[in-house]
Amino acid sequence: MRAFTGICAVLLVCSLAACASTGGTIGGLFPAPKLLKGQIEGDVYTAPDGAFSVAVPYRQGTEEFTYMSVKEQYMPGGAYVSFGPAAFNNSIYRLGVAYRPPGPDSQAVPFGEAAAGGLQEVIGQLQKGYGAPLVEEDSRPDSIHGRLGHYWRFGQRSPDGRYASGAAVTLTHEAYAVDFGHGVALFWVENPDIPGSHGGMDARTFAESWVLHR
């Protein structure tokens, strides 16, 4: 059961590690093609197995969408997808889905433990990647479409040379964990204080756009 406790963390850490990426730019100048495992139709991303869908933060046909990077990871028991950075907006929208294993012990790991395990692992990786601690600014029980959930907001000051731009940057991280019965979803939106960012959807809108199809 411990494997389930940490699977959201494994998926979210994919954002800072070796994970299948598509889109973005070629040589920092030209848009790269998006060779997706899932599909985007009507500004909605759907997983390759059709299990869930979630809104894409930028509309097709815009420059932000054209240059938007997408990462995907699918494995037994879980899935991960992220959108961004884009043309000017450096925000990153992440979604990790962890399914509880089937059988009589499927509820043995409670929502709070699973969410906390994933959250702490992601925090550790972001602190290592950006070279600065995450400072908790808000934490409260919440719900998404009536499902049990929790919300967090963190601030992080990344020093020179650690962020993609090479300059010191202040990051705001917002996360929602949601229990959907046979699994847990973790939404994580990262916004840097860089001019041109914050042009996509807010964290709650991203989380509420998620639809579980099975």
Apex 208 CA angle, 207 and 209, nearest 5:
90
Residues 142-176 have pLDDT tens digits of 999 999 999 999 999 999 888 877 889 999 999 99
User: Which of 196, 18, 185 has its CA nearest to residue 94?
Assistant: 185
Banded pLDDT at 19 (limits 50, 70, 90) = low
Pick among 3.30.420.40, 3.30.1310.10, 3.40.50.2300, 3.40.1000.10: CATH of 2-23+31-212 = 3.40.1000.10
pLDDT in tens, 44-83: 999 999 999 999 999 999 999 999 999 998 888 888 899 9
Looking at residue 142, its amino acid is D
pTM: 0.90
